[in-house]
Chain A
Amino acid sequence: MKVEALLFAGTAAFFAVVTTVYATFHPEPAGTSALLVSFLMSALISFFLWVQHRRHGDRPQDRGDAAVREGAGPLAFFSPRSSFPVFTAVGTALAGLGVIYGLWLFLIGLGLIASGVAGFVFQHNDR
Chain B
Amino acid sequence: MTAAPVVAVRRLSGGYVAGDGALVDVNFEVWPGQVIAVLAPNGGGKTTLFRALLGELPFSSGEIELPHRPAYVPQTERSRLDFPVSALDVALMGAYGRTPWYRRLSSADREVGRAALDRVGLADRSRSPFGTLSGGQRQRVLIARALVQEAPVILLDEPLSGVDRVSATHIEEIFADLSAEGRALLIATHDIAQARRSDRVLCLARGQVAFGPPDVTLSTDVLRRTYGAELIVLDESTAVAVDHHAH
Asked if A and B are interacting partners, one says: no
Residues of chain B touching chain A, judged by Cβ–Cβ distance below 8 Å, are none
Residues of chain A touching chain B, judged by Cβ–Cβ distance below 8 Å, are none
